[in-house]
Amino acid sequence: MPGPLLYLSGAIELVGGPLIAIGFHAALAAFICSGTMAVAYFMAHAPRGFFPIENHGELAILYCWIFLLIAGRGAGRFSIDRERR
């Protein structure tokens, strides 16, 4: 993996994870993290095979869809975003 891409994905995961966990700008952070997981799947796992079960990309796909769900639905009842509204 190229160096700048490695540092960028690490920074997205380091910042995006806690933002999603506490619910502060969670929809935007989850959308960006979803894209990161999609890129990770297609760069690292998809060349090994078509199906996630054969290329060991199950977690990347799972996180991609969960982050996309959070981006669409919002952070939830106990989030900072909801308290700010």
Q: In order along the chain (85 residues), what is the average pLDDT of each group of 10 residues?
A: 87 95 95 95 92 92 96 90 84
What pLDDT does residue 75 have?
86
Task: Tell the residue number behind the tokens 């939830």, with chain if given.
Answer: 76
Distance, CA of 46 to CA of 34 (rounded, Å): 16
Distance, CA of 26 to CA of 12 (rounded, Å): 13
Determine contact, residues 83/24, Cβ cutoff 8 Å: no
What pLDDT does residue 47 have?
92
Q: What is the pLDDT of residues 62-75, one digit of tens each?
A: 999 999 999 999 88
Q: What is the separation, in whole angstroms, between the first and last Cα of the chain?
A: 41
Tokens standing for residue 63: 């996180």
